[in-house]
Amino acid sequence: MNALDVVLVDAGGTNMGSVRYALERLGVGAEVSGDAQRIAGATHVILPGVGAAGPGMQRLREAGLIDVLRGLSQPVLGVCLGMQLLFEHSGEGDTTCLGIVPGQVRRIEGDAQRRVPHMGWNRLDVLADDPLLAGIGADAHAYFVHSYAVASGAHTLASTDYGTAIAAVVRHRNFHGMQFHPERSAAVGARLLRNFLGI
């Protein structure tokens, strides 16, 4: 992994430090940057995010990173809100997102058994054979914290059940997304991050 050059996109996500520390535990340093040239030159790009879609997109817009992110050809990983921003539109604040992955982000419909936000450990149901999911077993669990989600669909590699099938891991071309927090998902999260870095 010495040849890796990992950049975390500075989009104002409050999980930036925890993602960076998770990578350090894997022996990989990652630079936080909002510089378009620096991001474009990385071998791997991670778009973390905790917060709301509108402010997240505004931050990217103000940094001049919208077209840069859309044009990346190296492996890209969106985490939590970062994954949602890869899609076309979010119902959170009626926000136009990056439009890289086809699909809509909608508020989770809660009930007496399923609270919103969805917060805690949920099982990952692997739907497709993909290098990103190498070594992830049938009883793998990941840690989720979110109120908005994308329904499981054509680009879903793994889903989770929260009253309905929610996209937990997605891929479209070189763009990958994890709705949960791999940096908070113990050995499963570490394996997924390692897999991403190996792509």
Catalytic residues, by residue number, are 80, 181, 183
Chain-centroid distance of CA 73 in Å reads 17
Strands 6-9, 30-33: pairing kind: parallel
Read off the tokens for 80: 């939590």
- On whether the CB atoms of residues 67 and 29 are closer than 8 A, the answer is no
Q: Which of 198, 197, 199, 136 is nearest to 169 (CA)?
A: 136
Residue 11 DSSP SS3: coil
Tokens 């991001």 locate to 39
